[in-house]
Amino acid sequence: MELGPIFRALLRNRSRFWLITLEIALTLAVSVNCFVILQRERDRLLRPSGLDEANQIVVATEPWSEEFADDAFLDLQREEDLRRLRALPGVRAVTAMNQIPISRAGSGTGRKAEGADQSESVFVGYFYVADDALETLGVELREGRGFEPGDFPTREEEDAGDVVRNVLLTADVADRLYPEGALGKVIQNDGGEVSNVVVGVIEQMHNSWPTSTAADRAMLLPGRPGHRTLMRYLIRTEPGQVDPVFSRVEEELLAANTERVVTVQTMTEVKNRTYRVSRAMITVLVGVMILLGIVTGLGIIGLTAFSVTERTRQIGTRRALGAGRFDILRYFLLENWMVTGFGLVLGLGLTFGLNYLLVQAADAPKVGGELVVLVMAGLWLLGQLAALAPALRATRIAPVAATRTI
Amino acid sequence: MLTMQGIHKIYRTEQIETHALSDFDLEVEAGQFLAVMGPSGSGKSTFLNVAGLLDGFDRGSYHLDGADVSRLSDREMSRIRNEKIGFIFQGFNLIPDLDVFDNVDVPLRYRGMKARARREAIEEALQIVGLKSRRKHYPSQLSGGQQQRVAIARALVGSPQLIFADEPTGNLDSAMAAEILDLLEKINALGATVVMVTHDAELARRASRQIYLLDGRLIDMQGDAPAPLFGESRVRASAAGATD
Amino acid sequence: MLLYQLRMAALSLRRNLVLTLVVVAGVALGVSVATAFVTIDRLISSDPIPHKSDRLRFVRLDSWDPADPFDSDRPDLPPNQLTYQDALAIHGSGIPTYEAAMYKSRLTVHPDNGERPWREVVRLTHGDLFDLFDVPFAFGSRWDAAADGGPEPVVVIDTLINEKLFGGGDSVGREIRIEDRTFVVVGVLDEWRPPIKMYDVNNNPYEEPESIYIPFGFAQPLEATSNGNTNGWRFQDLDGWEEYLAASEDTFIQYWVQLDTQEQVGRFQSYVDGYAEQQKMAGRFPRPLNNLLQPLPDLLLTEEVRPEETRGLAIISILFLVVCSVNLIGVLLGKFLSRAPEAGIRRALGASRRTIFLQHLLECELVAVAGGLLGAGLAVPILRWVEKLFAQGEPLALDTGMLFAGIALALVSGLVAGLYPSWRVCRVAPATYLKLQ
Ligand SMILES: Nc1ncnc2c1ncn2[C@@H]1O[C@H](COP(=O)(O)OP(=O)(O)OP(=O)(O)O)[C@@H](O)[C@H]1O
Ligand SMILES: [Mg+2]
């Protein structure tokens, strides 16, 4: 190959060489760093929640009527709401909950193994649920059982205090508290005042804070969720039935009692709001990377086109001396290949430098080798593609161009 | 070696058509040293470009070393240029980004030769033109005569059968010009056919055959007939046109 | 001379209009992206109330768990909110210039016009909030201290609610039904959208301020539960809202004071320390004495209010501008060098190197100004779009500073990008190109 002469000729045209090199280096640095941030956000977004998100609807009813201050009334209303929602066509299961998973607003507390020291307590996000909770959430049970009617304490028992509720834990919590198996074991709050018995372990489920490191630590408690000012329901529809069910929920609940504000959201909406920043970052970063690709691509096209025009006579001479069209094409692609390659090598340093800066200033993730190689390959391809158009134009320069003075 | 019959070459610009070659017939035998003369604008460079496969023509037929040029593909023409033809341009046409060695190397690169064979050929060509010591120089660091000699080395490095030279001595003093001509004679003596455009009647006389061009037409001066005066050539031109 | 050069520059730009447009578009693109992201970052990270941020102090009392600090990463910091009982107890010392306890809640608003009631996020606060943070009023004013304690049924609303309920205008004196009570409007806020909700950084500092403000004294009678983060460490078996407020160790109140003098700071510090000692005697505040009167800028730092995302994007966008500028250098270099013969002729005709240099630099700056103006214009929609992606609510207020920043950025990049190409052409020896022609 003619790498030697191409390289030596390149060194004679330093400004062009350095411009493309610099551009490629910067592009590599910026795009690799965009990519790591993008990857992190995407990973966050794609973390499984354990729920059947696509088919769930979240309902908040916020009563203003004083009637709801009465516990008996509240219980009756809940029963009626559940009955009405369950009767809607397309509904698979409904439960009442005090908080909604993934919503970023929730309740958290500590739980430890029975008799363990307070320092061994683990943070859990907890949910009081009515019957049908597992079916509605769509989570899978790893061991044990779901709640049965007997698990729900009566109002009298609750009021009397000291109820030992049976609970469900996610595997993440269960394995932390009792690595040898939590089923049937007693767990306690930090101070030891509250005890629960574990009757089932859920494979995996997000609590209310899916972006936190403790996202998989959740606990379900049987109860009568809701109070005077707020009652929430979670609906799971048959696959694809979210829209028709959604449109009927408010009307159905208001028919039961108009003295309240009813807010209906799909779980997808809830999730989108929670992951707003991640989604926004992904959109923006993809946008920046596309713009960057376009700008860099155009830059390479421009500089290569300029160098083709400048070398018209030289190309003619080469053709006159026997170079075929393909030789000319190869010349420019090889030249681009070398400049890009040099830029990429130089860009490596810049990439890690920028990454260091971003890690310090913006808590960005660290750049890994695999990604760098991938982006380098992509940019190398971009360079070749960008050089292609002017290089093809160069092949159309006729040998007589050698004899034209200007 | 080279047979042209009824070649027409027309340059079209927006305002006028220039018949740079019209009804041009020529036969050049292998081993000839042909000098092409004629006033400025008479079509000498055009003839050389067409003959050297740098440019196409509009009408007529052209056979080069037995091959019908009008039937050749771009790739085949490139190959012939590379292997059979050496071209010495009016304005040197060295590649400014490459040093002497790399400039002479250019045609060999398109031939897929081994590095060692290339180096030997280049050294030999540079030896012939006497520029071996300057191989690391860039064109901008050479005098006009030196540049022309590099161009000659580049033309002969691939041992072509045909060498086209467009005013190889145009920019040089007479001593240097004579030297260049010595070189071309040497190459000719080694068996290559040489076609050289020149304004210098003195140099032209050293060729084995001279032809004259006038307004794109050919006036052949066989043998050692004296160089015609300008007026005579015009008369002959019209006479030739009349007999055609 | 300058005029002549300007004309020559304009002529040269017009001669190659497509290239000129491409270059201007390139500058505009780089400048707009960089300006938008840097502006967002600057808006969010700048001091939200520079003339008095040092005097605004966020009160933090360490009422937390004896076993664990509130924040295990920063064990020196007390909890970032107060319990209701502590907020109530320290209020009314008379030491601070202004002081306000506050939290956000969600209450039902019943419109008069027969439309369905809705839930609105409201802030229960002492009236000093408006003085502490220089909240602008369009009509009326804050409620007075007497209304805080009473509490009197008065509210301050913002333009949005004013529009929604009353169709805008001076609504002072009009009534709003919130939950089961009727409140009288005493003030309507002017447009107010601080880039960060500085008075409540623990509950999404990027959201817009609440629309309705109700005297703090209504916390108990309205049973207004907190709609923000509530942190607790202790299990307490409490019955009902009243008991919860009176005895819970849960923290959900933000407490702000304005302390104008060092003397005030000292006195208020010993006042809250005295309160904590007294509570220790009663068996509360089990941790070592650690009460902080944190200045606002310091609070923004320790609570890490500046979002990492915008900082990262700002850095990346600046580099994007650099890439655009490198491109600009390439295009200008090509353009100028192809015109080098002209420069050669000018030089031969007596133009000095300096003249040629300035001539070309001027051309770059013309391009840069055009690109900068276009870029600053483009930055606004980009900023709005990004803002919409990231944040909820009303858009941030933009200042003319952004426009100038955009143009300045363009001028600098035009200058930097133009230096090298201009230098290259001005170094062309007059002879070089004349000979070739
Ligand atoms: N590319 C072109 N387009 C149009 N006309 C051309 C072109 N090249 C050459 N010509 C015209 O063709 C004619 C022959 O030109 P050519 O270059 O062959 O002359 P020449 O004999 O080599 O002259 P000189 O001795 O000055 O080099 C001239 O009239 C010239 O103007
Ligand atoms: Mg000629």
What are the tokens at A19?
A: 């411009």
Enumerate the residues of chain A whose CB falls inside 8 A of the CB of residue C235: 189-191, 193-194
Give the model's confidence band at C431: pLDDT under 50 very low, under 70 low, under 90 confident, else very high: low
> Which one of the ligands is nearest to B43 CA?
1
Residue C105 CB-half CA count within 13 A: 26
Taking only the tens place, the pLDDT of each residue in C307-331 is: 777 788 888 898 898 888 888 888 8
Which one, of C250, C432, C435, C406, lies nearest residue C337 by Cα?
C432
Average pLDDT over residues C397-404: 70
Q: Give the percent of chain A with pLDDT over 70.
A: 99
According to DSSP, residue B91 is labeled T
- Report the C-alpha gap between A24 and A39 in whole angstroms: 22
User: Which CA distances in Å does C375 have to B190, C35, C414?
Assistant: 69, 8, 13
Q: What is the mean pLDDT of chain C?
A: 86
Average pLDDT rounded to a whole number, residues C267-272? 96
Mean local confidence (pLDDT), C15-35: 83
> Length of chain A, please?
406
CA dist C214 and C183 (Å) reads: 9
Dihedral sign of CA atoms C275, C279, C284, C285 in order: positive
pLDDT, residue C399, reads 64
Q: Which residue, among C327, C333, C320, has the nearest Cα to C419 in the 3D structure?
A: C333
pLDDT at B77: 87
What's the CA dihedral at C109, C111, C112, C114 to 10 degrees?
-130
Q: Which of B203, B209, B213 is nearest to B224 (CA)?
A: B209
Amino acid (one-letter) located at A270: V
Asked if residues B216 and B9 have their Cβ atoms less than 8 Å apart, the reply is yes
Residue A31 in contact with partner chain C when CB distance is under 8 A: no
pLDDT value at residue C121: 92
Residue-wise pLDDT for C132-143, tens only, equals 999 999 999 999
Estimate to the nearest angstrom the gap between the alpha carbon of C183 and the chain centroid. Answer: 31
Residue A106 · residue A211 · CB < 8 Å:
no
pLDDT for C417 equals: 83
Distance CA C111, CA C161 (A): 11
Does residue B109 register a pLDDT over 60? yes
Whole-number Cα distances in Å, C132 to A69, C122, C125, C297? 37, 18, 12, 15
For B98, the closest of A5, A324, A325 (CB atoms) is: A5
Nearest CA in chain C to A298: C327
Contacts of C117 in chain A (CB under 8 A): 64, 261
- pLDDT at residue C1 tops 80: no
Which of A17-26, B27-36, C426-435 is least confident?
C426-435
Please give the distance of CA C60 from its chain centroid, rounded to a whole number: 23
Residue of B45, B111, B154 with shortest CB distance to A403:
B45
A-facing residues of C in 257-296 (CB < 8 A) are: none
**How many angstroms separate the CA of residue B239 from the nearest CA in chain A?**
32
Q: To the nearest whole number, what is the mean pLDDT of chain A? A: 90
What count of residues does chain B have?
A: 244
pLDDT in tens, A100-133: 999 988 888 889 999 888 888 899 999 999 999 9
CA atoms within 13 Å, Cβ hemisphere of C429? 4
Name which of C315, C338, C390 is nearest A362 (Cβ-Cβ). Answer: C315
How far is the centre of ligand 1, averaged over its atoms, from the C-alpha of B42 (Å)? 7
- 3-state DSSP helix/strand/coil percent for chain B, to nearest 5? 40, 25, 35
**Is residue C201 predicted with pLDDT exceeding 70?**
yes
pLDDT exceeds cutoff 50 at C434: no
Evaluate: CB of B20 within 6 angstroms of ligand 1.
Answer: yes
pLDDT, position C288: 92
Number of CB atoms found within 10 A of residue A51's CB: 22
Residues of A in contact with B105 (CB under 8 A): 5
Residue C347: what pLDDT?
73
Average pLDDT over residues A320-345: 90
pLDDT score for A248: 95
| CA A4/CA A391 separation, integer angstroms | 19
Distance CA A326, CA A313 (A): 17
Whether pLDDT at B238 is above 50: no
Does A159 lie at the interface with C, CB-CB under 8 angstroms? no
Assess contact for B149 and B93: CB atoms under 8 A.
no
Decide if C49 contacts C133 (C-beta within 8 A): yes
Q: What is the pLDDT of residue A65?
A: 84
- The residue among C142 and C237 whose pLDDT is bigger is C142
> C436 pLDDT exceeds 50?
no
Q: Whose CA is nearest to atom 6 of ligand 1?
A: B11
Strand partners, C254: C102
C103 falls in which pLDDT band (50, 70, 90)?
very high
Beta-ladder partners of A110:
A123
* Amino acid letter for position C223: E
Least confident of A82-86, A206-210, B138-142: B138-142
C154 DSSP β-pair partners: C184
The nearest alpha carbon in chain A to C389 belongs to A280
Token pair belonging to A397: 């320069």
Please give the backbone phi and psi of residue A129, each rounded to the nearest 5 degrees, phi first: -130, 155
Instruction: Give the Cα separation of A315 and A400 in Å (integer).
Output: 10
Could you report the per-residue pLDDT of C208-236, keeping only the tens digit for each? 889 999 999 999 999 898 988 888 888 88
Q: Which residues contact C263 (CB under 8 A, 6 or more apart)?
A: none
Measured by CA distance, the residue closest to atom 29 of ligand 1 is B41
Report the range of poorest mean pLDDT among A20-24, A75-79, C266-270. Answer: A20-24
Residue of A nearest to C229 (CA): A105
- The whole-number pLDDT of residue B223 equals 47
Name the closest ligand to CA B41.
Answer: 1
Question: How much of chain C exceeds pLDDT 70, in percent?
Answer: 94
> Which single residue is written with the structure tokens 């301020």?
C209
pLDDT digits (tens, 9 = 90+) for A158-203: 887 778 999 999 999 999 999 999 999 999 988 888 899 999 999 9
Residue B226: the pLDDT is 43
pLDDT tier for residue C392 given thresholds of 50, 70 and 90? low
Per the document, the length of chain C is: 437
Interchain pair A295, C26: CB under 8 A: yes
Cβ–Cβ < 8 Å for A153, A165: yes
Question: Would you call A403 and B98 a contact, using CB atoms and an 8 Å cutoff?
Answer: no
* Chain B neighbours, 3+ Cβ pairs < 8 A: A
**pTM to 2 decimals?**
0.78
- Cα radius of gyration rounded to whole Å, chain A: 32
pLDDT bracket for residue C435 (50, 70, 90): very low
Summarize the confidence of residues C415-436 as an average pLDDT.
71
The minimum CA-CA distance between A17 and chain B, rounded to whole Å, is 13
Q: What is the DSSP secondary-structure string of A311-340?
A: THHHHHHHHHTT--HHHHHHHHHHHHHHHH
Rounded distance between C-alpha atoms, residue B224 and residue B31, angstroms: 18
CA of C258 from ligand 2 middle (Å) equals 92
Instruction: Give the angle subtended at the CA of A197 by the CAs of A192 and A198, to the nearest 5°.
Output: 120
pLDDT given for residue A364 in this prediction: 82
pLDDT by residue (tens digit) across C38-90? Answer: 888 877 777 888 889 999 999 999 999 888 888 888 889 999 999 999 999 99
**Closest Cβ–Cβ partner in A2, A317, A405 for B109:** A2
In chain C, % helix, strand, coil (3-state, to 5) comes to 50, 15, 35
Gyration radius of chain C over CA positions: 30
pLDDT at C343: 76
pLDDT mean over B89-94: 82
Q: What pLDDT does residue A223 have?
A: 92
Tokens linked to C207: 């959201």
Query: What band does C250 get if pLDDT is binned at 50, 70 and 90?
Result: very high
* Strands B2-12 and C175-178, bridge-based pairing: unpaired
The alpha carbon of C406 is separated from its chain's Cα centroid by a whole number of angstroms, namely: 19
DSSP H helix total and E strand total for chain A? 12, 11
Atom number in ligand 1 closest to CA B13? 4
Which of left, alpha, beta for A184 (phi over 0: left; psi -120 to 50: alpha)? Answer: left
Contact A399, B55 (CB under 8 A): yes
Residue predicted with more confidence, C18 or A247: A247
Per-residue pLDDT averaged across C413-420, rounded? 84
Exposure string over B86-104, b if 16+ CB within 10 A, otherwise e: bbbbbbbbbbebbbbbbbb
Residues at Cβ < 5 Å from ligand 2 ion: B 45
What percentage of chain C has pLDDT greater than the value 90?
Answer: 41
- The CA distance from C180 to the nearest CA of chain A, in Å, is 8
Count how many pairs of residues, chain A against chain B, have C-beta atoms within 8 Å. Answer: 93
Predicted confidence band of residue A240 (pLDDT cuts 50, 70, 90): very high
Q: What is the 3-state secondary structure (H, E, C) of A113-138?
A: ECCCCHHHCEEEEEEEECCCHHHHHC
Q: Measured between alpha carbons, how far is B20 from A120 in angstroms, rounded to an integer?
A: 99
State whether A62 and C119 contact (CB < 8 Å).
yes
Q: What is the mean pLDDT of the segment spanning A50-58?
A: 95
Contact present, A215 and A78 (Cβ < 8 Å):
no
Per residue in A282-304, pLDDT (tens digit) is 988 999 999 999 888 888 888 88
How distant is the alpha carbon of residue A127 from its chain centre? 24
Q: Per-residue confidence at C383, pLDDT binned at 50, 70, 90?
A: confident
Most trustworthy range by pLDDT among A85-94, C196-205, C409-418: A85-94
Question: Closest approach of chain C CAs to the CA of A90, in angstroms?
Answer: 28
What ligand is nearest to the CA atom of residue B38?
1
Q: Which atom of ligand 1 is nearest to the CA of B199?
A: 25
Cβ of C327 within 8 Å of Cβ of A193? The answer is no
CA distance A128 to chain C (A): 17
Residues A292, C30: C-beta atoms closer than 8 Å: no
Can you tell me the distance from the alpha carbon of B33 to that of B189, in angstroms, rounded to the nearest whole number?
A: 9
Q: What is the mean pLDDT of residues B106-133?
A: 88
For residue C320 the two structure tokens come to 């994007």
Indicate the pLDDT class of residue C432, thresholds 50, 70 and 90: low
**In contact, C79 and C61? CB cutoff 8 Å:** yes
Q: Is the pLDDT of residue C290 over 90?
A: yes
Asked whether the beta carbons of residue A321 and residue B110 sit closer than 8 angstroms, the reply is yes
Residue B159 with chain A: CB contacts under 8 Å: none
Query: Among partner residues A16, A229, A280, which is closest to C390 by beta-carbon distance?
Result: A280
Instruction: Work out the pLDDT band at C249, boundaries 50, 70, 90.
Output: very high
